[in-house]
Amino acid sequence: MSGPSDWPLPEDGVRFIVPHSLVSALQNNDLTRGLYLRAMGYYPNARGHYVNRDEHTDDLVLYCVGGEGSLSTGGQTYQVAKGDVLLLPRGVPHSYGASSERPWTVYWMHFSGTDAEAFWRHLGCIGRGFATQVGVTARLSGSMESLIKIASRDLLENSLIYGSNLLREILTLLKVMRDKSQESSSSFSVDAIHAFMHKSLHIDLDLDTLAQTANMSRHAFSRRYKTLTGVSPYRYYLYLKMQRACQLLDATDQTVAQVAEVMGYRDPYYFSRVFRQIIGMPPSQFRKKRYD
C-alpha cells in the first residue's frame, strides 16, 4: 500500500489507516471487495503539507475545502483552490502540496477495490490524474466526515460495509458536482433544458427545437448533452413522456388512444410502439398489470 504522508498531524487533524487484518476482511467480503477504504484523513490549515510519489498502489482523492495548494502530474501543474478535488488513480506519479501563504484544508482518502477502475472511467481519468472544480457543499464534506467517523471509531462489520457504500456515494457525487460546476460556468444548463422538456410533454418536440433552448446546432447540442448526462437528449425526452403516460394509464381510466392524444400523439399505434420501446411492454399490458 502507498501510505499517507508523514506530515506532522495537528491537534484538530485526523489520520486513520485501516489495519491490515481489516483490509483482508474487506477484500474477501462480497459487499466490500469492489470498493473499500485503506486510509483517510482531514488536514486543517495544513502548512508545510507536501507529498511526492513516483509510484503508488492506492487510488487517491483529495478535496480542498479551504485555502490553496497545487498539484503536478502528467507534465501539468494545477493551482488548487477551495472547492477543487484532486483525482489520482493508482500508478500515476504526482506531487502536491499546500500553499505557504494560504495553506489548504483538505479531506483525503486512499482506497482500492475491483471496481475502482470503473469509477475512474466514470470520472474521466483512466491512466491520468488532474484537479478539477466541484464546489463546496455540506453534502460532500459531511459524507467525508461520516466516513472518517465510521473508519476511525467503529470497526464492526456492518459499519465497514456501510463505509464502503458511502465511499461509492462520494465518488459518484463528485461526478455530479463536477458536471454541475462545468455547466454553471457555461451557458448550457441541463436543468433549464429539463424544465423545458417537462413543460412540453403534451406535444412532440423534435431535436431541433430542443437544441434551440441552448442556442446550438442539433449536432453540438446532442454531443454536449450526452457528455454531461450519458444519454441522448431526445431519448431522455421520450423517457419523460412515457413516464407521464405510465402515470395516466395507472391513475386514470382514459383509453390508450386518449392517453396518446394527451401526450401529443395523433396516431395511437405509433404511441404504442414508442411506449413499448421505452417501457418494454405495450400500454395495454402495462395497464393490465395494475389489476394483477
pLDDT tens digits, 249-279: 998 989 999 999 999 999 999 999 999 999 9
User: Into how many domains does the chain fold?
Assistant: 2
Q: Does 52 reside within a domain?
A: yes
DSSP H helical segments within the chain, as ranges?
Answer: 20-27, 116-123, 138-153, 157-184, 190-199, 207-212, 218-229, 233-251, 256-262, 268-279, 283-289
The verdict on 71 and 151 lying in the same domain is yes
Residue after which a domain boundary falls, among 184, 202, 232: 184
Average pLDDT, the chain: 89
pLDDT digits (tens, 9 = 90+) for 76-113: 999 999 999 999 999 999 999 999 999 999 999 999 99
pLDDT digits (tens, 9 = 90+) for 108-161: 999 999 999 999 999 988 889 999 989 888 889 999 999 888 877 766 777 888
Residue after which a domain boundary falls, among 139, 163, 184: 184
Q: Does 8 reside within a domain?
A: no
The verdict on 61 and 113 lying in the same domain is yes
The verdict on 152 and 227 lying in the same domain is no
Q: Does 77 reside within a domain?
A: yes
Residue 291 reports pLDDT greater than 70: no
Q: Does 7 reside within a domain?
A: no
- Give the least confident one: 82-86, 196-200, 226-230: 226-230
Cell of 137: 457543499
Residue 285 reports pLDDT greater than 70: yes
Residue after which a domain boundary falls, among 136, 160, 184: 184
Q: Does 3 reside within a domain?
A: no
Q: Does 9 reside within a domain?
A: no
Helices (H) and strands (E) in the chain, counts: 11, 10
Q: Does 179 reside within a domain?
A: yes
The verdict on 153 and 200 lying in the same domain is no
Q: Does 262 reside within a domain?
A: yes
Tell me the three state secondary structure of residue 79. strand
- Give the least confident one: 64-73, 79-88, 203-212: 203-212
Residue 14 reports pLDDT greater than 70: yes
The verdict on 36 and 145 lying in the same domain is yes
Percent of the chain with pLDDT over 70: 95
Residue 187 reports pLDDT greater than 80: no
pLDDT of residue 182: 67
pLDDT of residue 288: 83
Quote the CA–CA distance of 186 and 102 in Å, as a whole number: 29
The verdict on 82 and 207 lying in the same domain is no
pLDDT of residue 56: 85
pLDDT of residue 226: 87
Residue 207 reports pLDDT greater than 80: yes
- Tallying the residues shown for the chain, one arrives at 292
CATH number (domain holding residue 67): 2.60.120.280
The verdict on 71 and 200 lying in the same domain is no
Give the residue-averaged pLDDT of 197-224.
88
The verdict on 46 and 149 lying in the same domain is yes
The verdict on 167 and 271 lying in the same domain is no
The verdict on 153 and 32 lying in the same domain is yes
The amino acid occupying position 292 is D
Residue range of the domain that includes 283: 190-289
The verdict on 50 and 117 lying in the same domain is yes
The verdict on 179 and 39 lying in the same domain is yes
